[in-house]
């Protein structure tokens, strides 16, 4: 018997014993498709659609028109070239991120990472990038959570586009308060000086895709981008799963 036949039988048996269910609502799924969500949960995901800010990726409320800079990016250009997100941080994406981040469901994170890597991002032509770097966690937070959610997402992006992954060079050296509890201004001061590059040579001249799970005010990815650019990166593009 061929190995693949054995595998298929094993999967068949697993499906009988543990039929695949939707990650977020628990409904039975017709099979083990690429995404672990039912059609209904998939249908309520609000994917990011243009027009968007050409820099930070903020979606504009008008339905028509070309992409352009938003007010905030006109006033102060971010240190990253472009930021893009898969969709809005609500409904299915919010529930799935919670399962992943706060309940340790790594398989949810891997599925989200695949969806994130598969989506098209106009100006983020991923083929041109040479390094994928996740937003790092401080060692203390890493011990609490047991994993870095951004690294789980980064692996999928790195695999899909065949871009090397570097999760050692950018480090978080200051243990900061969780951003979730803070307002915009406090978020910026909270992460200031919290990151460092351990070895400039590893990022020098690279065009980097910086990965994080949620983009809220952008203060974390802004701070990381500043540090990467200051240390010789050629460009930093930001890709996040969801935008709050
Ligand atoms: Zn569902
Ligand atoms: Zn903007």
Instruction: Give the residue, 180 or 43, on which the prediction is more confident.
Output: 43
Cα 162 to ligand 2 centroid, rounded to whole Å:
29
| pTM (whole model) above 0.95 | no
Residue 37 carries which DSSP code?
S
Cα 183 to ligand 2 centroid, rounded to whole Å:
18
Topology at the third CATH level for domain 45-243:
Rossmann fold (3.40.50)
Cα 116 to ligand 1 centroid, rounded to whole Å:
18
Cα 80 to ligand 2 centroid, rounded to whole Å:
11
pLDDT at 207: 96
Q: Which ligand is nearest to the CA of 36?
A: 1
Asked if 150 and 238 touch (Cβ cutoff 8 Å), the reply is: no
Cα 233 to ligand 2 centroid, rounded to whole Å:
21
33 band by pLDDT with thresholds 50, 70 and 90: confident
Q: What is d(CA 142, CA 78) in angstroms, rounded to the nearest whole number?
A: 28
Q: What is d(CA 98, CA 171) in angstroms, rounded to the nearest whole number?
A: 24
Cα 55 to ligand 2 centroid, rounded to whole Å:
5
Write down the domain spans for the chain: 1-43, 45-243
């Amino acid at each position: 018997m061929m190995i693949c036949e054995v595998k298929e039988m094993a999967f068949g048996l697993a499906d009988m014993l543990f039929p695949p269910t939707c990650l977020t609502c628990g409904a039975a799924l017709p099979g083990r498709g690429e995404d672990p969500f039912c059609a209904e949960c998939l249908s309520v995901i609000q994917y990011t659609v243009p027009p968007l800010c050409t820099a930070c990726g903020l979606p504009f409320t008008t339905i028509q028109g070309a992409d352009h800079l938003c007010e905030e990016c006109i006033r102060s250009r971010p240190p990253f070239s472009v930021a893009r997100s898969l969709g809005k941080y609500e409904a299915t994406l919010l529930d799935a991120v919670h399962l992943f981040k706060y309940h340790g469901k790594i398989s949810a994170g891997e599925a989200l990472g695949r969806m994130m890597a598969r989506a098209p991002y106009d100006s983020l032509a991923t083929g041109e990038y040479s390094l994928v770097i996740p937003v790092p966690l401080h060692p203390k937070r890493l011990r609490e959570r047991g994993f870095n959610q951004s690294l789980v997402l980064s692996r999928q992006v790195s695999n899909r586009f065949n871009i090397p992954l570097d999760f050692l060079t950018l480090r978080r050296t200051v243990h900061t308060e969780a951003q979730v509890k803070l307002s915009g201004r406090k978020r910026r001061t909270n992460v200031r000086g919290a990151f460092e590059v351990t070895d400039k040579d590893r990022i020098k001249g690279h065009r980097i895709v910086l990965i994080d799970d949620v983009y809220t005010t952008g203060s974390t990815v802004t701070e990381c981008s500043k540090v990467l650019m200051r240390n010789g990166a050629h460009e930093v593009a930001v890709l996040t799963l969801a935008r709050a």
